[in-house]
Amino acid sequence: MFSVFKKLSWYFKEQWLRYTIAIIALLFVNLLELLPPKIIGIAIDEIQYQTLTNERLVELLVWLIGVILLSYLLSFFWDYTLFGRSILLERRLRSNLMNHFLRMTPRFYGSYRTGDLMARSTNDLKAIMMTAGYGILTLVDSTVFMSFIIVMMFFTISAKLTLAALIPLPIMAYIINKYGKKIHTRFMQAQRSFSDLNNYTLESVKGVRVTRAFVQERQDEARFGEMTEDVFQKNAEVAKVDAFFEPTINVLVGLAYIIGIGYGATLVFNQQISFGDLVSFNVYLGMLIWPMIAVGDLINVMQRGNASIDRVEHILAQEPDVHDPPHPKVIKIPEKIEFKNVSFQYPETEGYQIKDIDLSVKRGQTIGIVGKTGSGKTTLMKQLLRQYVPPEGWVLINQIPIQDFKLDQTREWIGYVPQDHVLFSKTIRENLLFGSGWKTDEEIYQMLESVDLKEDIDQFPEGLDTLVGESGVTLSGGQKQRVSLARALLMDPEILILDDTLSAVDGKTEANIISHLKEEREAKTTIISAHRLSAVQYADEIIVLDNGRIIERGTHNDLIRQNGWYKRQYTIQQMVEV
């Protein structure tokens, strides 16, 4: 359980000075708090023995006020320092997690659900923060402060009385230990079901349109109800154990009071301690309640922190399965891309999704990839994005294996427009300039013309500065596709990959865009996959994929002559267009 402090030791080491100062201030406040009961005891004794003069009373009161003022200032200081540091730790871990998420590949996102990752980045970080702040406070108070009070009772009042009043202590230690373990298991369960709920909520919100279209709202609600109930139950279980702590401790402290008053009164009667001593003793007993609660809280907070740090560290320990090479090669411009006998299968799938691919693309060429849905077009193009471990065979750029380059370098060359477009909840301008950095309005508008989007944008109330996404206007599928395309074109990448990018625009718009593309991409490499064959017709080479293999290849005219799948598909599409 204490291992949580060990796991956080890197942070405590780094912040040792602030933690030391905070703890010293806290200890000083603890010492100061021991004085008032003693002062009160002295005052009572002096009243009883009628030795209290006016000056003496003022002196005692000044002492009291002094102690209160000093501990007020010091308390503010340690509180601010200790809890301030714990918030900083939370921020640190959050950035670590975010950086980590950004380095991870699809395989990682395949094995962890988004809701779970979100739960780890929020709830678990909060629990760790608690450990680094409140955990330290309870650690100090439940050990050092408690000892201070007991020592004070033992040496300045009566050893016998102290020992007697503390008989309930070992019982308490036993109970606390036993329930600490329970809390750990229950808390883990509660966090897990919170992860599930998070995930479910996310999917529900994302898929709300489909849910409505299939009239599944009631079922969705019912399922959500079950899941919140589960989270509630699991947390209620934690709360139950939690709630048990304080009353148990109060009962045991009550027992200590009974012994204190009962036995203490006898001692006063036998004149072994003074009346003032008895009062001080009982105030000290009262002061013991907090450190004893702190023991319970300490165990609780540490158990939770420990569970949470394990969950967070587990994520941070996941290595991305695609790395930068140890000795990266550097080239300026990718002149030639080659696929040599490339076969690839996604992790956890059976059989290959692309098989024995040979392909060579020179700078300035345009390559078309066509084929049925699921034939492997996306998979083939993704080999250049390096999201998965390298395939069998060779993917070469300027005859150097692609995995010998830094990931950033190859990704910098590529502008990828995926099928499922992602637009951020920002303005259209920000979305357009996402990869390219600042551009003049003129440049942007020129690009919008190329992708046939200018008129659409002009119709929006604030033009380029219109917000899109959740809090802004909703773009149609075709408009989104064109914004994504313009975003990639503005980067003017060496290699442009269009993955069925124009599927949601009409034939005429597509023809327009394609003719612009041809001009603009003349000197650079473009790879287009498309369902509509007119989009690849002008390509220098077209490959037809079926079941991951190339079944036909050549220029448009070659393929028409070959009289195979391409020709059949072309004829069908021509008929539909007419």
Q: Which residues bind ligand ADP (CB under 6 A)?
A: 346, 349, 353, 371, 373-379
Give the shortest CB-577-to-ligand ADP separation in angstroms: 22
Coil, strand, or helix at residue 525? strand
Task: Name the phi and psi angles at 395, rounded to 5.
Answer: -110, 115
Give the shortest CB-503-to-ligand ADP separation in angstroms: 11
Residue 456, CA distances (Å) to 131, 421, 446, 470 in order: 54, 18, 14, 19
Pairing label, strands 495-499, 525-529: parallel
Give the shortest CB-553-to-ligand ADP separation in angstroms: 16
Give the shortest CB-321-to-ligand ADP separation in angstroms: 13
By beta-carbon proximity to ligand ADP, the closer residue of 348 and 442 is 348
Element (H, E) at 45: helix 35-48
Pairing label, strands 549-554, 541-546: antiparallel
Q: What is the dihedral of CA 500, 505, 508, 510, to 10 degrees?
A: -30
C-alpha–C-alpha distance, residues 453 and 433, integer Å: 15
Cα of 259 vs its chain's centroid, Å: 52
| Encoded tokens for 505 | 């625009």
DSSP readout, 265-297? HHHHHTTSS-HHHHHHHHHHHHHTHHHHHHHHH
Task: Choose among 335, 560, 548, 528: nearest CA to 416.
Answer: 528
DSSP symbol at 476: P
In this structure, are residues 532 and 505 in contact, taking their beta carbons and an 8 Å threshold? no
C-alpha–C-alpha distance, residues 521 and 496, integer Å: 9
In this structure, are residues 200 and 224 in contact, taking their beta carbons and an 8 Å threshold? yes
Give the shortest CB-376-to-ligand ADP separation in angstroms: 4
Give the shortest CB-417-to-ligand ADP separation in angstroms: 13
Give the shortest CB-106-to-ligand ADP separation in angstroms: 6
By beta-carbon proximity to ligand ADP, the closer residue of 273 and 545 is 545
Residues 6+ apart with CB under 8 A from 7: 306, 309, 313
Residue 460, CA distances (Å) to 457, 474, 505 in order: 5, 11, 19
Residue 485, CA distances (Å) to 105, 130, 414, 415 in order: 23, 46, 13, 9
Give the shortest CB-377-to-ligand ADP separation in angstroms: 3
Task: Choose among 121, 118, 116, 150: nearest CA to 34.
Answer: 150
By beta-carbon proximity to ligand ADP, the closer residue of 104 and 241 is 104
By beta-carbon proximity to ligand ADP, the closer residue of 308 and 383 is 383
Give the shortest CB-23-to-ligand ADP separation in angstroms: 51
Give the shortest CB-398-to-ligand ADP separation in angstroms: 26
Q: Which amino acid is at 564?
A: G
| Encoded tokens for 531 | 């369902």
- CB contact burial 349-366 (16+ within 10 A = b; e otherwise): eeebbbbebebebeeebb
Give the shortest CB-348-to-ligand ADP separation in angstroms: 7
By beta-carbon proximity to ligand ADP, the closer residue of 346 and 445 is 346
By beta-carbon proximity to ligand ADP, the closer residue of 463 and 564 is 564
Give the shortest CB-194-to-ligand ADP separation in angstroms: 27
By beta-carbon proximity to ligand ADP, the closer residue of 235 and 378 is 378
By beta-carbon proximity to ligand ADP, the closer residue of 398 and 419 is 419
In this structure, are residues 240 and 298 in contact, taking their beta carbons and an 8 Å threshold? no
Give the shortest CB-370-to-ligand ADP separation in angstroms: 9
By beta-carbon proximity to ligand ADP, the closer residue of 305 and 371 is 371
Task: Name the phi and psi angles at 99, rounded to 5.
Answer: -60, -40
By beta-carbon proximity to ligand ADP, the closer residue of 328 and 374 is 374
Half-sphere exposure of 130 (CA within 13 A, CB side): 19
By beta-carbon proximity to ligand ADP, the closer residue of 141 and 500 is 500
By beta-carbon proximity to ligand ADP, the closer residue of 375 and 501 is 375
In this structure, are residues 35 and 21 in contact, taking their beta carbons and an 8 Å threshold? no
By beta-carbon proximity to ligand ADP, the closer residue of 377 and 482 is 377
What's the chain's Rg over C-alpha atoms? 36
Give the shortest CB-353-to-ligand ADP separation in angstroms: 4
Q: Which is it for the CA torsion 155, 160, 165, 170, positive or negative? A: positive
By beta-carbon proximity to ligand ADP, the closer residue of 349 and 459 is 349
Give the shortest CB-502-to-ligand ADP separation in angstroms: 14
Most distant CA pair in the chain: distance in Å? 122
Residue 300, CA distances (Å) to 138, 172, 267 in order: 10, 15, 39
By beta-carbon proximity to ligand ADP, the closer residue of 66 and 374 is 374
